[in-house]
Amino acid sequence: MEEIYRLGKHEFATREEWEAARRDLEKIETIVDHLDIDDPEIAKDIYHFVREGRAGFESKLGTAFFCDISDRVAQNFEYRLEKSKRQELRRLKKEKKEADEAERKLRLKETQQSQMFKILGIACAVLSVICISFYGISVFRERRAARKLEEVQQQKNITQALDWYAERIRGDGNADQQEEAQSPPPAEETAVAAPEVLPEYRTMHGRYPELAGWIYIEDTQVDLPVMQTTDNAYYLDKTIDGTEDVNGTLFLDCRNDITKAGSNLIIYGHNMKSGAMFGGLKQYLDESYLTAHDRIQFDTIYEKQMYQIIAVCLSDVGDEGAYRYYNYIEANSDEEFHAFLNNIRDCAVYDRTQGVTGSDSLLTLSTCNSYVEDGRLFIVAKKIQ
C-alpha cells in the first residue's frame, strides 16, 4: 500500500516534500514565537524579508504562510489608505467650514471697524497662520522622527530574531563543516582582518552605514541608535537618514575609534523637553534615580559592552578657564588621566570614582543643561563587561 505523508491537514506525495514542509513549519513557528505577525509593521517587514530572498520556504506550507503574510500586508495597506481618505475628507470639510466662518466674521468686522483695524486684523490672521504652520511642521517632524526611531527599533528586533534562526539553521550542518568554521584563521589573517559587524546590526548597518552602535538604559527612553560621522555638528539637527529634525540624533564623537579599545567614548545628544534623545539624563541629578539606573549598555556594531556610572557632573563650558571634559579621548599619560579624574571629581554632583584607574575604559554621555548659560550635564561610566 502506498505510504501517505501528512502534516496537519496537508498531504504530501513524497517523503522529500513532507520533510521540506517540516523544515518550513519550524521556520514559521520560530517567526511566530519571536514576532507579533498581527502587528502590521512587523508583518510588512517579514514580507519584505522573505520577498528579498533572505528567508526562503521550500514547500506549499511555506507558500501558504507567505500568502497569509501578503494578505495581512495588503489588508493593512487598504485599511490605511481608506482611513487616510476619510481623514483627508474630514479635514477638507472642516477647513471649508472654518474658512467660511472666518470669511463671514471678516466681512462683519469690516463693516464695523476702520480700515486701520481691518489691516491689523488681516496681519494678525496671517501671523497666526504662520505660527500654526510652524508649530504643525515641528510636530510633524518630531512625530516623523519618532516613527523613524520606532522603525529602526523594530528592525533591530526583527533582525535579532531572524538572525537567531539563521544561526540555528547554519548550526545544523555536519560536524566537519562546524569544526572548519570554528577553527581560528592563520595568524597573518587575524592581524589584518577587519572587525565583524554583530549579526543584529548587519541589516541596519547596511541601510545606515554611519551607524556606530546602540545605547540602552533599562526603564528609560534611551533605547536608541548612535551614529558617527566626520562632522560632530551633522547629527545635531538630523535623523539617522539625514532628514532635518530639531531632535537630532545621538552621535559618537568623530575622534573616537570603535574598532579598538580606547580611554573614553563620548556620546552627544540634545536635552529635549519632551524627554527625547538625552532629555531624561537630568533625572540623574536625583541620587535615587542614579542608584536605580546606574547600568548603561552601549553596543558598538562590533562588540557588546556594559558600563556602570561612576560620576554625574555639571560643567560650564562657557567659562574660559573651565576644564573641557569632552577633549579627553585617549589618555597619553598617567598625568593626563589623573587630570581628567580630578576635574570630574571637582564638578561631580555624585562621585563614585573610587577605584577607577587609567586602564579602565570609560563612556561619557554629554548633553546641555540650563543651570547656567552654556551649561553641560555629563555622565561618566566605567566599562564592567
Rg, Å, the chain Cα set: 28
What pLDDT does 218 receive? 94
Whichever domain contains 242, its CATH number is 2.40.260.10
Q: Are residues 58 and 142 in the same domain?
A: yes
In a domain, 170, yes or no: no
- Which residues make Cβ contacts (< 8 Å) with residue 7, sequence separation at least 6? 18, 21, 22, 25, 61
Q: Are 249 and 149 in contact (CB under 8 A)?
A: no
Residue 192 lies in a domain: no
In a domain, 34, yes or no: yes
Give pLDDT tens digits for 182-222: 445 554 444 456 689 999 999 999 999 999 999 999 999 99
* Sign, CA torsion 159/162/168/174: negative
Q: Are residues 325 and 246 in the same domain?
A: yes
235 contacts 227 by C-beta, under 8 angstroms? yes
102 and 220 both lie in a single domain = no
Q: Which of 158, 190, 212 is the last residue of a domain?
A: 158
Reported in sequence order, the residue ranges of the chain that DSSP labels E, i.e. its strands, are: 5-7, 10-12, 211-216, 223-227, 251-252, 264-268, 295-300, 306-316, 348-351, 362-368, 375-383
DSSP secondary structure string for all residues of 85-107: HHHHHHHHHHHHHHHHHHHHHHH
Residues 210, 149: one domain?
A: no
Q: Is residue 267 a contact partner of residue 250, using CB atoms and an 8 Å limit?
A: yes
Here the cell at position 142 is 518630531
**Tens of pLDDT, residues 314-329:** 998 877 778 889 999 9
Domain count, the chain: 2
pLDDT for res 283:
95
Residue at a domain's end among 126, 158, 190: 158
Q: Are strands 362-368 and 264-268 parallel, antiparallel or unpaired?
A: parallel
Query: Do 119 and 208 share a structural domain?
Result: no
250 shares a domain with 124:
no
- pTM beyond 0.85: the answer is no
Residue 220 falls within a domain, yes or no? yes
Residues 204 and 351 occupy one common structural domain = yes
Judge if 102 and 37 occupy the same domain.
yes
- Do 376 and 270 reside in the same domain of the chain? yes
Determine, yes or no, domain membership for 219: yes
Q: Which of 146, 159, 154, 367 is nearest to 243 (CA)?
A: 146
* Domain closes at, from 124, 139, 158: 158
Asked if the structure places residue 193 within a domain, the reply is no
- 97 and 212 inside one domain: no
Asked whether residue 379 falls in the same domain as residue 253, the answer is yes
User: By the 8 A CB rule, do 227 and 250 touch?
Assistant: yes
Q: Can you give the pLDDT at residue 75?
A: 86
Q: Does 318 fall in a domain?
A: yes
Q: What is the mean pLDDT, run by run of 10 residues, along the chain of 385 residues?
A: 70 80 82 84 83 76 82 85 85 88 86 75 74 63 64 66 56 47 48 78 94 95 96 94 93 94 92 91 95 96 96 87 88 92 94 92 93 88 93
Domain that holds residue 316: 200-383
- Kindly state whether residue 33 falls inside one of the protein's structural domains: yes
pLDDT, position 148: 65
Mark whether 229 and 137 lie in a shared domain.
no
